[in-house]
Structure 1
């Protein structure tokens, strides 16, 4: 799971219009954070993953009355939230642990 995949998914759903907006509004970082991270092949920090996970999860679980998001995009957001949650879990698990 990369920031690029997350950005592309949100962009395809019409939830972000630019990389700068994604950095500021979704990642709570400076406008150039996304483009800089991608160009340097940096993985997102746990802090960034928690921030984006929380926002995507909330949108995916919100009722249709709260936010105008088509059903297909809600399903996509739920899948994306699960993938990010799994990535967070992998990062928090010590190397060599079996998860037990």
Structure 2
């Protein structure tokens, strides 16, 4: 396989298990009056349901699912979720190990 393969969609089970949080007045004050979902660009309002990724960024669930199907990463920090594609997950693990080997080799010099 040459280069990085196309990232498959996020695991349906992983997405289904993402926590759903409710926007409160306090959260909205903290985020600021112009806070929006960076996928759909709708302004956040009190009682909005948001789905939170492991990186702690949150998005409207109807916007997040299609985004993760196409990109499988947080639109803000690019944190990637687990997929159901075992070949891709194995490739990702091998790449991580190879990167650690390269860092060790560079530090040994």
Which bin holds the TM-score, normalised by the shorter protein? 0.3 to 0.5
Larger RCO (CA within 8 A; separation ≥ 6): 2
TM-score scaled by structure 1? Answer: 0.33
> Higher helix fraction: Structure 1 or Structure 2?
1
TM-score scaled by structure 2? Answer: 0.32
> Higher strand fraction: Structure 1 or Structure 2?
2
